[in-house]
Structure 1
Amino acid sequence: MMIARFVLSILIVAAIVSGSEFSDTRDAKVEKILKKLNKPALKSIKSPDGDIIDCVHMNNHPIYDHPLFKNYTIQMKPSSYPKGKNNESSDKEKQSVVTQLWTVNGKCPKNSIPIRRTRRKEILRTEYMQRYDKKNPNIINHPKASTSNSIHEYAQIQAKGKFHGAHADINVWKPFVQTPKEFSLAQMWVMAGPFSEVNSVEAGWQVYQDRYGDDNPRYFIFWTADGYHSGCYNLDCQGFVPVSQKFALGAAVSNVSTFDGQQYHISTTIWKDPNSGNWWLKFGDEFVGYWPSILFNHLKDGATEIQWGGEIINFKDGALHTTTRMGSGHFAESGYQKASYFKDVEIIDERDIHSSPKEGYSYMTQESCYNIRSGYAKVWGVYFYYGGPGRNLNCK
């Protein structure tokens, strides 16, 4: 008995030491990630929604952490903007003006950019930690992936050809998401190259509690240069170059549409700068920043596919389809003020001119769960309604 107790004591001590070592290793890893993501701030601003925005001097810009950009000269504004954009909108819907909530408590000094601070608790969330460990924050995120095994579901309009960018006004909602590890988003994809090594730059809004800690819709970007084997959201890795003094990636969208009520949208444009070749992003009237052309081997020559629409993750908890909603959570046929929409859907051609897509087709992973209906109207141009509630009598 004494020997047994002695052995048990040794095992307990070993377990404690082992647990302590694991905790120390994890803490060191977390601190390393936080130090990499959170740059020294000239000023920090507390947002009413709980975010902290750090104003980082341009000399400490995250892009300089990338080995390709050690002595890089940042392009502070695009050389030009594509022609032919119609900016009319009806009285019943409003563009989400890109004035983020944190700006009510201050603004960043000259020669600095606002960066949403990453918190320790965000890193410690299991899924988030795994993404950093694996340096692969996105499970295969493309409609050409096998739908039988994929957890991603879509309702999209797609166009193929030769493009220098795309535009859309993206309606904003706050969809219910079943679990923190699932998300619901609306975005544009600008892509080039074969699926296995596709280059993609993406932008829109998403609700993703596991990433942001709440269920607010938030502005986001994503990019990959190798078929989603690597790449990242927002500024989680070096690549995107923010230049706006007023806009922080990952911050909440201020105005959200309501059922049978006021509608809001985000005017979103991604285009290839004709001089530098960089891929610029504009939300509303704000030039947010760009993806340098040197990051890509296919997109440097232009895009070959544009996608607009919604995406959700379905983890099938309990072996049932998720109840995570896409868009407003209502099917496309519900129409205005009920279903979510994209309007003024346009491509930017090789002459750098906005125009309606000549050919396009819809893609739905499971029409009984989330669907899409497109059309054309004089004021809205090419548009589509999309979305759905997820699990229902016909979607199991």
Structure 2
Amino acid sequence: MKIIVFLCLYLATNNCYAVDGRITNISRDYEDLDLERHQELVNKPPLKTIQANGYIVDCIDINKQPAFDNPLLKNHKIQLKPSFEDTRTNSTIFSSIGFEDDLCPKGTVPIRKTTKEDLIRAKQLSNMNVGILDKDIPGRHYAGVNLINVDDNRRYFAISGIIDVYNLPVKNADQITSAYIYLQNGGVNDKNVIMAGWEVHPKVFGDGKTYFFIRWADKTKSKGCTNLICPGFVQVEPGYVLGKPVAYTSTYNGKQFELLVEIAHDRNTNNWWVRLNNRNLGYYPGILFSNLAFGKLGGWTGMTSTTPGSPSPPMGSGRFPDNNLYRSCYFRKMKFQTDTLRNVGPTNYEDAVASTDNPNCFGVQFNGYNDDIQGYSMLFGGPGGICGK
């Protein structure tokens, strides 16, 4: 009897039970059940299904996409295009992301089907959503050009740039290397931010490939995430899948591939549009944010992250900038919009300041305007390594 009582107590305290002589973990079973239910909720009934390279794409009714699972968007009316005039930037090498005009039928948007593995990674990331707003995180490093508010009255409504795209190695799932543009507002406790660019981030994407990403966060509400991990971003582009790896990346001292990325505020609707390679990808509804009617800060930056005390992964092309666009990762055609002007470059050093938090690991070069091809441009990157902090 003592043995039976002990066994029952052991099984109870370890969330287990015995069935037909087999020991089963109750917590694990419930966790699997929750994952399956969560999958059913996030994977909407598709009107068309496409088998991609290692994943499945569902064509979802644009009015039933995951964004509308957010209670704030219950009665949201979709804005199919921005009310401001689209700007166009010509380039012959916007081929690292492929748009397919016939990917999904009219009235639908392509959504990558969510797997259990995706949900498990998302759960692991849930505590990191707001952490992306904290720059002083041990193991995290930056090199880039930041717009600063010199008189506290400057307001930024759009930012854009052409980003050179690389695929650099990271040693484990906890490491990140990326390059992106961002706009931010708020103080220490209520920072709001939108980011867009490319990233190697195995904990989010499940592998070491380079992905285009978008990200938002509101520290006041403790909300935010990457791509469609949580509901919020409203996609209108029918020919591009968020969560699709970048097809081609640049080669050191060889062929270069780029992304043209823009974040722009629509003053008529208060929505924040994300544009990719001259296409309107979609927008973040203004209601998601507690304090982002405009940006007080912004910039073009490279970032790496690793666990504290371990060597940092490389940034950019993995080399220090050396005034050569074939060897150094870069941003070109750097532009921003203030209250009265749209798509104007950083015309003086009061607006744009170059900085790196660890010059031994990463460098940055910013000389303002170069020529019609480069516009305002910045080179950045480095090998990483033992960077401290």
TM-score (norm 1): 0.86
The equivalent of 2:375 in structure 1 is 381
Match of 1:59 among 57, 63, 67: 63
Q: Deviations along 1:103-135, whole A, 9 cap, x unmatched? A: 59x62111100011221123334xx42234x5x
Q: Deviations along 1:291-330, whole A, 9 cap, x unmatched? A: 1122223322x211112111111114xx4323x1211111
> Is this contact kept in 1: 2:144–2:378, CA < 8 A?
no
The equivalent of 1:26 in structure 2 is 31
Distance (whole Å) between structure 2 residues aligned to residue 174 and residue 281 of structure 1: 22
State the 1:387 CA deviation: 1.1
State the 1:97 CA deviation: 5.8
Matched, 1:243 2:202: no
Distance (whole Å) between structure 1 residues aligned to residue 302 and residue 24 of structure 2: 42
Distance (whole Å) between structure 2 residues aligned to residue 38 and residue 352 of structure 1: 42
> Is this contact kept in 1: 2:133–2:217, CA < 8 A?
no
Percent of matched pairs sharing the same residue: 28
Q: Deviations along 1:352-392, whole A, 9 cap, x unmatched? A: 52111132112322121122111231121111111111116
- Secondary structure class of the residue paired with 1:346: strand
Amino acid at match of 1:20: N
Q: Where do 5+ consecutive residues of structure 2 fail to align?
A: 18-22, 149-153
Match of 1:369 among 340, 355, 361: 361
- How many pairs were matched up? 372
> Is this contact kept in 2: 1:169–1:265, CA < 8 A?
yes
Q: 1:248 to 1:138 in 2, by over 3 A?
A: farther
Amino acid at match of 2:172: T
Distance (whole Å) between structure 2 residues aligned to residue 25 and residue 62 of structure 1: 24
Match of 1:112 among 94, 108, 113: 108
The equivalent of 2:139 in structure 1 is 151
Distance (whole Å) between structure 1 residues aligned to residue 360 and residue 140 of structure 2: 15
The equivalent of 1:79 in structure 2 is 83
Amino acid at match of 1:371: G
Q: 1:64 to 1:230 in 2, by over 3 A?
A: closer
> Is this contact kept in 2: 1:140–1:228, CA < 8 A?
no
Match of 2:268 among 272, 275, 286: 275
Within a 5 Å distance, the mapping from 1:277-356 to structure 2 comes to: 277-300=270-293, 302-316=294-308, 319-322=309-312, 324-333=313-322, 335-356=324-345
The equivalent of 1:195 in structure 2 is 188
State the 1:19 CA deviation: 5.7
Q: Where do 5+ consecutive residues of structure 1 fail to align?
A: none
- Secondary structure class of the residue paired with 1:94: coil
Distance (whole Å) between structure 2 residues aligned to residue 287 and residue 97 of structure 1: 17
Q: 1:59 to 1:82 in 2, by over 3 A?
A: closer
- Secondary structure class of the residue paired with 2:93: strand
Matched, 1:137 2:101: no
- Secondary structure class of the residue paired with 1:303: coil
Amino acid at match of 2:337: I
- Secondary structure class of the residue paired with 2:263: strand
The equivalent of 1:259 in structure 2 is 252
Distance (whole Å) between structure 1 residues aligned to residue 326 and residue 90 of structure 2: 19
State the 1:138 CA deviation: 4.9
Deviating more after overlay: 11-20 vs 191-200: 11-20
Amino acid at match of 2:365: R
Match of 2:118 among 109, 112, 122: 122
Amino acid at match of 1:118: T
Q: 1:223 to 1:178 in 2, by over 3 A?
A: same
State the 1:174 CA deviation: 0.2
TM-score (norm 2): 0.88
Distance (whole Å) between structure 2 residues aligned to residue 114 and residue 138 of structure 1: 27
State the 1:59 CA deviation: 3.0
Q: 1:299 to 1:9 in 2, by over 3 A?
A: closer
Decide which structure has greater helix share: 1
Q: Deviations along 1:140-174, whole A, 9 cap, x unmatched? A: 4343x3xxx53321112100231111110011000
Distance (whole Å) between structure 1 residues aligned to residue 221 and residue 346 of structure 2: 26
Amino acid at match of 2:277: G
State the 1:11 CA deviation: 5.4
Q: 1:142 to 1:362 in 2, by over 3 A?
A: farther
Q: 1:28 to 1:6 in 2, by over 3 A?
A: closer
The equivalent of 1:47 in structure 2 is 52
State the 1:57 CA deviation: 0.8
Amino acid at match of 1:308: W
The equivalent of 2:175 in structure 1 is 182
Q: 1:20 to 1:108 in 2, by over 3 A?
A: same
Amino acid at match of 1:353: R
> Is this contact kept in 2: 1:98–1:286, CA < 8 A?
no
Q: Deviations along 1:52-79, whole A, 9 cap, x unmatched? A: 1111012312222122222221000111
- Secondary structure class of the residue paired with 2:322: helix
Distance (whole Å) between structure 1 residues aligned to residue 97 and residue 306 of structure 2: 30
